[in-house]
Homo-oligomer: A and B are copies of this chain.
Protein backbone atom coordinates (compact mmCIF):
# COMPACT_ATOMS: atom_id res chain seq x y z
CA UNK A 1 0.00 0.00 0.00
CA UNK A 2 1.54 3.32 -1.00
CA UNK A 3 1.33 6.53 0.98
CA UNK A 4 -1.66 7.93 -0.88
CA UNK A 5 -3.63 4.76 -0.27
CA UNK A 6 -2.74 4.76 3.40
CA UNK A 7 -4.17 8.21 3.82
CA UNK A 8 -7.35 7.60 1.91
CA UNK A 9 -7.96 4.40 3.87
CA UNK A 10 -6.73 5.62 7.26
CA UNK A 11 -7.07 9.39 7.26
CA UNK A 12 -6.98 9.62 11.06
CA UNK A 13 -4.56 6.91 12.12
CA UNK A 14 -2.41 6.38 9.02
CA UNK A 15 0.71 7.60 10.80
CA UNK A 16 0.28 5.56 13.98
CA UNK A 17 3.52 3.66 14.61
CA UNK A 18 4.50 4.22 10.99
CA UNK A 19 8.11 3.18 10.53
CA UNK A 20 7.86 1.21 13.74
CA UNK A 21 5.45 -1.68 14.41
CA UNK A 22 2.80 -0.58 11.93
CA UNK A 23 3.76 -3.26 9.40
CA UNK A 24 3.12 -5.97 11.95
CA UNK A 25 -0.53 -5.13 12.48
CA UNK A 26 -3.28 -7.25 11.00
CA UNK A 27 -5.19 -5.12 8.50
CA UNK A 28 -8.30 -5.82 10.52
CA UNK A 29 -6.73 -4.16 13.53
CA UNK A 30 -5.74 -1.10 11.56
CA UNK A 31 -9.38 -0.75 10.62
CA UNK A 32 -10.56 -1.18 14.19
CA UNK A 33 -8.16 1.52 15.29
CA UNK A 34 -9.27 3.87 12.53
CA UNK A 35 -12.91 3.10 13.20
CA UNK A 36 -12.82 3.90 16.88
CA UNK A 37 -11.45 7.43 16.42
CA UNK A 38 -13.79 10.39 16.08
CA UNK A 39 -12.67 13.41 14.11
CA UNK A 40 -10.78 15.07 12.70
CA UNK A 41 -10.96 18.24 14.74
CA UNK A 42 -8.70 21.29 14.67
CA UNK A 43 -6.95 23.26 17.38
CA UNK A 44 -5.44 26.70 16.96
CA UNK A 45 -1.89 27.67 17.86
CA UNK A 46 -1.45 27.67 21.62
CA UNK A 47 -4.76 26.01 22.33
CA UNK A 48 -4.64 23.67 25.31
CA UNK A 49 -5.97 20.15 24.77
CA UNK A 50 -5.38 18.75 28.26
CA UNK A 51 -4.74 20.49 31.55
CA UNK A 52 -2.54 19.03 34.23
CA UNK A 53 -4.54 17.08 36.79
CA UNK A 54 -7.63 16.80 34.59
CA UNK A 55 -9.19 13.34 34.61
CA UNK A 56 -8.49 11.68 31.28
CA UNK A 57 -11.75 10.88 29.52
CA UNK A 58 -10.36 10.27 26.06
CA UNK A 59 -7.23 9.54 24.11
CA UNK A 60 -6.07 11.79 21.29
CA UNK A 61 -4.03 11.07 18.20
CA UNK A 62 -2.21 13.89 16.46
CA UNK A 63 -2.84 13.91 12.72
CA UNK A 64 -1.11 17.08 11.56
CA UNK A 65 1.13 19.61 13.23
CA UNK A 66 3.06 19.60 16.50
CA UNK A 67 2.05 19.54 20.14
CA UNK A 68 4.11 20.06 23.29
CA UNK A 69 4.03 18.71 26.83
CA UNK A 70 4.30 21.70 29.12
CA UNK A 71 4.74 22.29 32.83
CA UNK A 72 4.11 25.76 34.17
CA UNK A 73 5.57 26.62 37.54
CA UNK A 74 5.94 30.06 39.09
CA UNK A 75 4.95 31.59 35.78
CA UNK A 76 7.80 29.91 33.94
CA UNK A 77 7.18 27.38 31.21
CA UNK A 78 9.13 24.16 30.78
CA UNK A 79 8.66 21.94 27.76
CA UNK A 80 9.15 18.29 28.66
CA UNK A 81 7.99 16.60 25.49
CA UNK A 82 7.18 17.07 21.83
CA UNK A 83 4.74 15.26 19.57
CA UNK A 84 4.59 14.72 15.84
CA UNK A 85 1.76 13.29 13.70
CA UNK A 86 0.93 9.68 14.51
CA UNK A 87 1.61 10.15 18.23
CA UNK A 88 -1.08 9.52 20.80
CA UNK A 89 -0.43 12.67 22.78
CA UNK A 90 -2.28 11.89 26.01
CA UNK A 91 -2.12 8.14 26.21
CA UNK A 92 -0.16 8.28 29.45
CA UNK A 93 -3.24 9.80 31.04
CA UNK A 94 -5.33 6.78 30.05
CA UNK A 95 -3.56 4.44 32.46
CA UNK A 96 -2.46 7.09 34.98
CA UNK A 97 -6.01 8.60 35.21
CA UNK A 98 -4.63 12.10 34.92
CA UNK A 99 -1.51 13.79 33.64
CA UNK A 100 1.19 15.76 35.38
CA UNK A 101 1.57 18.24 32.51
CA UNK A 102 -0.46 20.25 30.01
CA UNK A 103 -0.69 19.34 26.34
CA UNK A 104 -0.77 22.31 23.99
CA UNK A 105 -0.87 22.86 20.23
CA UNK A 106 2.29 24.35 18.75
CA UNK A 107 0.92 25.92 15.60
CA UNK A 108 -2.40 24.79 14.16
CA UNK A 109 -3.04 21.05 14.48
CA UNK A 110 -5.53 18.38 13.53
CA UNK A 111 -6.45 15.60 15.95
CA UNK A 112 -8.86 12.69 16.39
CA UNK A 113 -10.15 11.26 19.65
CA UNK A 114 -11.59 8.12 21.23
CA UNK A 115 -13.43 7.82 24.51
CA UNK A 116 -11.86 6.09 27.48
CA UNK A 117 -14.50 3.34 27.69
CA UNK A 118 -14.30 2.43 24.03
CA UNK A 119 -10.52 2.36 24.24
CA UNK A 120 -10.67 0.08 27.26
CA UNK A 121 -13.00 -2.32 25.42
CA UNK A 122 -10.66 -2.52 22.47
CA UNK A 123 -7.54 -3.07 24.53
CA UNK A 124 -9.21 -5.77 26.58
CA UNK A 125 -10.57 -7.58 23.55
CA UNK A 126 -7.31 -7.32 21.59
CA UNK A 127 -4.06 -7.89 23.41
CA UNK A 128 -2.14 -6.93 20.28
CA UNK A 129 -3.74 -3.50 20.38
CA UNK A 130 -2.92 -3.12 24.05
CA UNK A 131 0.68 -4.05 23.33
CA UNK A 132 0.87 -1.52 20.52
CA UNK A 133 -0.44 1.29 22.70
CA UNK A 134 1.93 0.28 25.46
CA UNK A 135 4.76 0.32 22.96
CA UNK A 136 3.78 3.81 21.86
CA UNK A 137 4.00 5.15 25.40
CA UNK A 138 7.37 3.47 25.91
CA UNK A 139 8.62 5.25 22.84
CA UNK A 140 7.74 8.53 24.57
CA UNK A 141 9.67 7.36 27.61
CA UNK A 142 12.72 6.47 25.51
CA UNK A 143 12.65 9.96 24.00
CA UNK A 144 12.36 11.43 27.50
CA UNK A 145 15.47 9.55 28.56
CA UNK A 146 17.34 10.91 25.57
CA UNK A 147 16.23 14.44 26.46
CA UNK A 148 17.61 13.89 29.95
CA UNK A 149 20.91 12.80 28.47
CA UNK A 150 20.93 15.79 26.16
CA UNK A 151 20.36 18.21 29.02
CA UNK A 152 23.12 16.51 30.97
CA UNK A 153 25.61 16.26 28.12
CA UNK A 154 25.16 18.99 25.54
CA UNK A 155 25.59 22.74 25.37
CA UNK A 156 22.91 25.00 23.92
CA UNK A 157 23.83 24.86 20.21
CA UNK A 158 24.18 21.09 20.40
CA UNK A 159 20.81 20.74 22.11
CA UNK A 160 19.10 22.69 19.36
CA UNK A 161 20.92 20.69 16.70
CA UNK A 162 19.87 17.47 18.43
CA UNK A 163 16.27 18.61 18.60
CA UNK A 164 16.09 19.21 14.86
CA UNK A 165 17.91 15.97 14.12
CA UNK A 166 15.34 14.13 16.22
CA UNK A 167 12.47 15.87 14.48
CA UNK A 168 13.96 15.04 11.12
CA UNK A 169 14.12 11.35 11.97
CA UNK A 170 10.68 11.21 13.57
CA UNK A 171 9.12 12.92 10.58
CA UNK A 172 10.97 10.67 8.17
CA UNK A 173 9.54 7.63 9.94
CA UNK A 174 6.06 8.85 9.07
CA UNK A 175 7.00 9.65 5.50
CA UNK A 176 7.60 13.40 5.69
CA UNK A 177 10.71 13.95 3.63
CA UNK A 178 12.43 17.12 4.74
CA UNK A 179 15.56 17.05 2.66
CA UNK A 180 16.69 20.67 2.55
CA UNK A 181 14.11 22.38 4.75
CA UNK A 182 12.39 21.30 7.94
CA UNK A 183 9.42 23.51 8.69
CA UNK A 184 8.20 23.96 12.25
CA UNK A 185 6.09 26.60 14.01
CA UNK A 186 8.56 27.00 16.88
CA UNK A 187 9.72 30.41 18.01
CA UNK A 188 13.16 30.77 19.53
CA UNK A 189 11.41 31.03 22.88
CA UNK A 190 9.90 27.60 22.25
CA UNK A 191 13.32 26.19 21.39
CA UNK A 192 14.71 27.79 24.54
CA UNK A 193 12.04 26.19 26.74
CA UNK A 194 12.68 22.78 25.17
CA UNK A 195 16.42 23.09 25.67
CA UNK A 196 16.46 24.59 29.15
CA UNK A 197 18.18 27.84 28.21
CA UNK A 198 17.03 31.46 28.11
CA UNK A 199 15.44 32.79 24.94
CA UNK A 200 18.34 35.17 24.44
CA UNK A 201 20.84 32.38 24.68
CA UNK A 202 18.78 30.25 22.31
CA UNK A 203 19.14 33.06 19.83
CA UNK A 204 22.90 33.04 20.19
CA UNK A 205 22.92 29.26 19.85
CA UNK A 206 20.96 29.51 16.62
CA UNK A 207 23.47 32.10 15.43
CA UNK A 208 26.27 29.70 16.33
CA UNK A 209 24.82 26.93 14.17
CA UNK A 210 24.65 29.40 11.31
CA UNK A 211 28.27 30.48 11.84
CA UNK A 212 29.36 26.86 11.86
CA UNK A 213 27.59 26.32 8.56
CA UNK A 214 25.46 23.56 10.05
CA UNK A 215 22.12 25.08 9.22
CA UNK A 216 20.07 28.21 9.31
CA UNK A 217 16.98 28.49 11.50
CA UNK A 218 14.54 31.20 10.51
CA UNK A 219 11.18 31.42 12.30
CA UNK A 220 11.45 27.78 13.32
CA UNK A 221 12.24 26.53 9.83
CA UNK A 222 15.62 24.86 9.43
CA UNK A 223 17.41 25.29 6.12
CA UNK A 224 20.14 22.71 5.89
CA UNK A 225 22.45 21.11 3.35
CA UNK A 226 24.18 18.39 5.34
CA UNK A 227 22.11 16.44 7.85
CA UNK A 228 24.97 14.08 8.66
CA UNK A 229 27.13 17.03 9.74
CA UNK A 230 24.38 18.32 12.02
CA UNK A 231 23.92 14.89 13.57
CA UNK A 232 27.62 14.47 14.13
CA UNK A 233 27.77 17.87 15.82
CA UNK A 234 24.86 16.97 18.12
CA UNK A 235 26.11 13.47 18.94
CA UNK A 236 22.86 12.15 17.51
CA UNK A 237 22.25 8.40 17.42
CA UNK A 238 18.77 7.40 16.21
CA UNK A 239 18.68 4.09 18.12
CA UNK A 240 16.44 5.56 20.83
CA UNK A 241 13.69 6.24 18.31
CA UNK A 242 13.24 2.51 17.71
CA UNK A 243 12.78 2.89 13.99
CA UNK A 244 12.13 -0.23 11.95
CA UNK A 245 15.76 -0.35 10.83
CA UNK A 246 18.01 -2.49 13.00
CA UNK A 247 19.21 -1.07 16.32
CA UNK A 248 22.57 0.64 16.04
CA UNK A 249 24.17 -2.10 18.11
Contacts and interface: CB of A to CB of B under 8 A. Distances in A.
Contact of A151 (B139, B148, B193): B148
A78 interface: yes
Interface string A195-221: 110000000000000000000000000
Q: What copy number does this chain have within its complex?
A: 2
Interface in A166-198: 193, 195-196
B100 A131 contact: no
B239 A100 contact: yes
Interface in A133-150: 134-135, 137-142, 144-149
A98 interface: yes
Interface string A105-146: 000000000000000000110010011001101111110111
A98 B81 CA distance: 22
Interface residues of A, number: 49
A53 B239 CA distance: 9
A224 interface: no
A193 to B, nearest CB: 8
Interface of A: 52-53, 69, 71, 73-74, 76, 78-81, 92, 95-96, 98, 100-101, 123-124, 127, 130-131, 134-135, 137-142, 144-149, 151-153, 193, 195-196, 235, 239-240, 242, 247-249
27 contacts: A53-B249, A69-B145, A71-B145, A73-B235, A76-B153, A78-B153, A79-B152, A80-B149, A81-B148, A92-B141, A96-B135, A100-B142, A100-B239, A100-B240, A100-B242, A123-B127, A127-B130, A134-B134, A134-B137, A137-B138, A138-B141, A141-B141, A144-B144, A147-B148, A151-B152, A152-B195, A153-B196
